[in-house]
Structure 1
């Protein structure tokens, strides 16, 4: 009887377990991406600082800073795109999980139509991609404005 109870309990909590696995994978990937970004930026900042201290010509300093800003912008945008990709993968996994369990629920209780209450069409990839592009454009404009001001 105890084993049957545990089996039933594990079936009930299976969706939450799957959701936690999705969270775990996304968090691990985001953590590694951000860690690599911070390590790379830190080492580049140290190298740039040393190069700036060794340079005496003002024009060379400005050129070095401009190329450094462009390099950091590129690295930031790459990291941002990787992070957004990870988040989109997690969102897609959540959507699949939700659809799977909603269909199972409607099969078990056909008289209860969940489509009346939940509209999954609002969670489209197009909206996520548009938001990512908008953020990338804003970041790019900010860096360009800072470069122009310098």
Structure 2
């Protein structure tokens, strides 16, 4: 391994970002946009990675709408593909309402979306916003080569 390999920062391959209304419609649109973007980038709709990232996005966007909403404030999704990782981020306006995994069972309604995120993601977490109010909840999945990259002709 070269000496600088440990200090090398990942190279961003693709980025998609969209601001959406903090409504159930906005959450549904977030899911759809991420699925479409991953398909366009080479991970077909029915691929394991597309389905996992889309489900994670749906859960995080639903939480942003349900728990992170402030009147008149939108939420933002950001999808980033770097060497080896697909990362989805959902930023909302409520920094004081941090996500927590609720135990299964009991009479609590909801609260199990993060259980799915935890099961599907290789890593996930929450970061306070550095500018303005709010927080960003993120999840990462190690990617697999997109179909288009697997089938590409060798470079000369």
Q: Per residue, is there more helix in 1 or in 2?
A: 1
Greater strand share, 1 or 2?
Answer: 2
**TM-score normalised by length of structure 2:** 0.29
